Structure 1
Amino acid sequence: MQRTLITIGRRQVIGFCLALTAFELLTYMASDLVMPAMLDVTTELQADIRHVPNAFNLYLLGGICLQWLMGPLSDRWGRRRLLLIGCAIFGVACSAAFAAHSIEAFNLLRLLQGMGLGFVISVSYPALQEVFCEADAVRLMALLGNVALLSPLLGPLLGSLLLQWLNWRELFLALGLVAAMVWLGLYAWMPETVGVIRRDGQHQAPIPFSLKRTRQRYLALLGNRRFFGASLALGLMSLPLIAWIGLSPILLIQLLGQTPLEYGLWQMPIFSAVIVGNLILNRLLVTHALPELIRIGLWPLCMGLVALLGCALLAAGPVPVVASLALYGVGLGICNATLYRLALFCTEDSKGLVSAMIGMISIAVMGLGASLIAAIGGGTRLDFFALLSALGGLTCLPLLHGFLHDAKAASTKAQ
C-alpha cells in the first residue's frame, strides 16, 4: 500500500466524527429500540419468554464472532474499507428482520446485527485513536460513550412511543434504511489511517495478514498479564449495566406490571448517570493522569454496587435499585473510556488487533456473565438481580488493583 500524507481538514474531521457517532448509536439502537417490543416478538413468533434476554445476549456475542478477524484485516487492508463492509452487513441484517417468521431466524439475525458492534469496536475505535492525540482521543471516546448511552437512555422510551404507530418488524426496517444513510456518510467522510503518514510524523504501516502470525499475536496478548486483566475488568465493570438492559423488560414489565412507557422512563436515571460520569471525566482529564482517574471513578462505582447488595438483602423495590445503579453508573462513566485507553496502549502491537482482542474479551465477559445471571434466576426477582449483578461487578476490583499496581511500578521504573 502506498504511503501518503494524511491531510484531514476541519470539515472532514467533523463529518467523520458525526458518521462514526451515528454508526455507533445505530448499532446500540438496534437493540434498545426494540426491547419494549420483545414480549410482542416472543408472542408473535410463539417463543418462550426466555428469548427476551437471550436475544440481547446473542447480539452481544455477535459482536465478538468476527472481531478476531476484523482487527488484523483492518491492519492489512485499512480501517475505512472494513468499516464500510461492517455497516453494510449491519444494515442488511436489520432489514431482513422484517421478514423473520421464527424465533430461530430472529436470533440468527440478532447475531448478525451484533457483528456491527464488533466492527465499531475493532475497526472504528483504532481509527479514532490514530487520528487524534491521547487527550483528544480519550475525550472523544467518552463523548462517543455518551452518544452510545443515548440509546439505552432514550431507546426504550422512543421504542415505546414508536410502537404506538409501528410494529417491531417496521422498526427493524427503519433501522436498515438509516444504516444505508450512515454508510453514505462514512463513505464520504471517513479517512484512511493505515498506510498513511500523519501530520505529526507518525505512521501506521499495513501489516501482512497471516492466520499463523495472527494466532501467535493473539496468544502473546493473552500472555500479557496487564492487558488481559484490564480487558477482563472492562467486561466485569460493565456487567451490572448489561444485565439490567437484558433483564429489565422482564423485571419491570412482566413481573411488576409496568407499561412499556414506564419501563422506558425507568432507564433514564441510570444512563443519565453514566453520561454525567463521562462529563466529569472530560473535566478531570486536564488535571489528572489516567490511572488516577480510574481510582476516582472507583469510589462511586463501588458505593453503587455495595448499595445494590443492600437492596438485595432488604428486598428493596425498584426505586432503591435504580438509585444504586445510577450511583454505580457515575463511576462507570469515569472509568470505562479511561481503562480502554490504558489497555489499548499497554502493548506495542497494532491497534486493530489489540482493539479486537479487548472487544472479544470484554464483550464475551458481558454476554456470558449476563446469560449466567439470567440462567440462575436474575430475571425472576428484583432482589436476585441486585445480588447477582452487584457480585458480578465487584469481581473487577482485584483485577483493577493488579493493573493499577503494575502501571504504577512501570511508571516508577521509567522515571
Structure 2
Amino acid sequence: MTVRSHPEQVAVRAATAEATPVFRPNAKYVLLLGMMCALPAISNDIYLPSLPEVAQDLHTSATAAQLTMTAMMIGGAVGQLVIGPLSDRFGRRRPVLIGVALHVLTSILCAVAPTIETLIALRVMQGFFNAAATVVAMAVIRDRFVGADASGLISRLMLVIGIAPLFAPSVGGLIAGEWGWRSVFLALGVFGVVLWLVVWRRLPETLPAARRRDGGLRTAARGYATLLRDRHFVALALMPGLGTAILMSYVVGSPFVLMEGYGLTAHQFSLLFAINGIGLVGGAQINAVLVKRVSPIRIVRVVLPVSLALTLGLLALAITGAGGLPALLVMLWLILAMVNFAPPNASAIALSRHGEIAGTAAAFTGATGAAIGGLISPLSGLLGGDAVAMAAVMVGAATAALLVLALATPAYRRGGAWSGVGG
C-alpha cells in the first residue's frame, strides 16, 4: 500500500488544508486554553489531600471517598458527549460560558454537602458542567490546527495543565488545614469565576455561523455514528483514556499508598506530587519539540511499549519491596514522565480525521478518556489500595493501550506510518 494511493490519506490532506493555521498562538492564547483544559484536573487535584478527612468527616470508607473523584470523571465523560455536539451547533463561546457558570454553582453546593452520597452526586454534576471548558478548548484547537501543529499545541497546553495541578494539592492542603475540606470547594468556585471572566473577555468565536451544524439529538447521533464507523479513529480515541487511567490510578491511589502505606505527611505528599508533576510537564514539553521532527504515530508506537515495561518494573518493585520507597518513587516518576507522550499525539491524529464535526470528535475523545480513567482508577482501591494494587492497574492500562494500537491500527504493520493514522 503506497502513501499516495490511500483514500484516507486524501481525506486527511483535505482536512489539513481546511484547518491551516491562520495565526501563530501566543502565550496568552495558550494560557487561556490551558486554563480551560486544566479545570477538571484542578477540581480533582486540589481535593486530593482532603480525601482521608472527607472519609472521616462523612463517616465513610476510603473507597467511597475515592468515588467522589471517579464521579467527577464520569460526569465529565457524559458532559463532553452532550456539550461537544452543542458546540458544533451553537458555537464555542456560549456552551463554555454556561458550563463554567454552573461549575461555580455546583462547587458551592459541594461545600455544604451533608453526606457522602450527596457529595458524589454533586461531583457528577460538577464534572458534567466543567467538561464544557475542556471539550471547547479541544474543538477550538481543531478549528484552527491539525496534525503535528495540533499535537505541538496540545503538548504546550500540557505545560499549563501540568503546572496548575503541581500546586493544587499544596494549595488544597493549606486551605483544608486552615478551614476544613469544605473550603476547598469554595476555592474552586472562586477559580471558576475568574476563568469565566477570562473566557468572556478573551476567547474568540472560532466556529462561524456558516459552519455550524443544524439539528438536535438526531444530528448528534449521526455524528457519533460516523465516528464509531471509523475504526482507526475509535482506536486512537482510546489512547488518551488509557493514558488517563495510568495517571488517575496514581492520582487516586497515591494519597493512601504514600500517606497511609508509607507514613508520609500531607506536606511530604504534596511535595512528592509536585516533583512527579514536573515529570508530567517535562514529558509533554519534550513531546512538543519532538513532534516537529518525528511523526506523531511514530512517537506513539515507541512510547507505549516503553510505558508497559516501566509499569511492569513498578509492579515488580511493589511486590518484592526491592529498593524500598526511593526505588518505587523513581520508577513512578519515570512512568508519569511518559504519560503525556501518547495522549496529545493520539488526540491530534484522531481529531484530524473529522474536522467537519470537530466538537463532536473532541467530545468523543475527551469523554472516552474521562470514562476509561474514571472506571479503571478506582480498581486500585477495590484491589486493596496498596502499591501492588496501584501498579497492577497501571500495568493493565498500559497493556490495553499497546494491544489496541497493535490490533486496531496499522501502526505496527508495514507502511503503517502513513498519514491516515498520523504520519
For the superposition of Structure 1 and Structure 2, which TM-score range results when normalised by the shorter chain? 0.7 to 0.9
Do the aligned partners of residues 48 and 272 (structure 1) sit closer, same or farther apart at CA in structure 2, a change above 3 Å counting?
same
Alignment correspondent of 1:262? 268
Q: Give runs of aligned pairs for residues 190-339 of structure 1, distance below 5 A.
A: 190-195=203-208, 205-298=211-304, 300-316=306-322, 317-339=324-346
Match of 1:113 among 104, 122, 126: 126
Alignment correspondent of 2:178? 165
8 A contact 2:92–2:206 mirrored in 1: yes
2:23 and 2:201 map into 1 onto residues whose CA distance is 13
Moved more, 42-51 or 333-342: 42-51
Match of 1:17 among 27, 30, 34: 30
Do the aligned partners of residues 388 and 8 (structure 1) sit closer, same or farther apart at CA in structure 2, a change above 3 Å counting?
closer
Shift of 1:87: 0.8
Moved more, 167-176 or 307-316: 307-316
Please tell me whether residue 364 in structure 1 is matched to residue 371 in structure 2: yes
Q: 2:341 is paired with a residue of what secondary structure?
A: helix
8 A contact 1:321–1:386 mirrored in 2: no
Q: 2:178 is paired with a residue of what secondary structure?
A: coil
Q: Percent identity?
A: 25
1:388 and 1:191 map into 2 onto residues whose CA distance is 41
Q: Which amino acid aligns with 1:216?
A: R
Q: Which amino acid aligns with 1:248?
A: S
Do the aligned partners of residues 219 and 261 (structure 1) sit closer, same or farther apart at CA in structure 2, a change above 3 Å counting?
same
Alignment correspondent of 2:13? none
Alignment correspondent of 2:361? 354
Shift of 1:398: 1.5
Shift of 1:332: 1.9
Shift of 1:133: 5.5
Q: Give runs of aligned pairs for residues 382-393 of structure 1, distance below 5 A.
A: 382-393=387-398
Q: Which amino acid aligns with 2:376?
A: G
Q: 1:312 is paired with a residue of what secondary structure?
A: helix
Alignment correspondent of 1:43? 56
Q: Which amino acid aligns with 1:327?
A: L
Shift of 1:372: 2.9
Q: Which amino acid aligns with 1:293?
A: I
Deviation string, structure 1 residues 340-380 (Cα, Å, up to 9, x no partner): 10111234541101111112222211111112333232x1x
Q: Give runs of aligned pairs for residues 17-166 of structure 1, distance below 5 A.
A: 17-132=30-145, 134-166=147-179
Q: Give the structure-2-normalised TM-score.
A: 0.86
Q: Which amino acid aligns with 1:238?
A: T
8 A contact 2:311–2:335 mirrored in 1: yes
Q: 1:101 is paired with a residue of what secondary structure?
A: coil
Please tell me whether residue 175 in structure 1 is matched to residue 188 in structure 2: yes
2:151 and 2:348 map into 1 onto residues whose CA distance is 7
2:288 and 2:296 map into 1 onto residues whose CA distance is 11
Shift of 1:406: 7.2
2:22 and 2:295 map into 1 onto residues whose CA distance is 28
Alignment correspondent of 1:199? none
2:204 and 2:252 map into 1 onto residues whose CA distance is 35
Do the aligned partners of residues 27 and 43 (structure 1) sit closer, same or farther apart at CA in structure 2, a change above 3 Å counting?
same
Shift of 1:382: 1.4
Shift of 1:185: 0.9
8 A contact 2:406–2:412 mirrored in 1: yes
Q: Which amino acid aligns with 2:119?
A: F
1:290 and 1:159 map into 2 onto residues whose CA distance is 36
2:22 and 2:269 map into 1 onto residues whose CA distance is 43
8 A contact 1:308–1:325 mirrored in 2: yes
Do the aligned partners of residues 182 and 237 (structure 1) sit closer, same or farther apart at CA in structure 2, a change above 3 Å counting?
closer
Shift of 1:401: 2.2
Q: Which amino acid aligns with 2:65?
A: V
CA RMSD across the alignment: 2.7
Alignment correspondent of 1:345? 352
2:194 and 2:367 map into 1 onto residues whose CA distance is 28
Alignment correspondent of 1:401? 406
8 A contact 1:301–1:329 mirrored in 2: no
Q: 1:22 is paired with a residue of what secondary structure?
A: helix
8 A contact 1:20–1:186 mirrored in 2: no
Deviation string, structure 1 residues 18-53 (Cα, Å, up to 9, x no partner): 333223333321211121112112222222222221
Unaligned runs of 5+ in 1: 1-6, 197-203
Unaligned runs of 5+ in 2: 1-20
Q: Which amino acid aligns with 1:195?
A: P
1:227 and 1:133 map into 2 onto residues whose CA distance is 14
Q: Which amino acid aligns with 1:207?
A: R
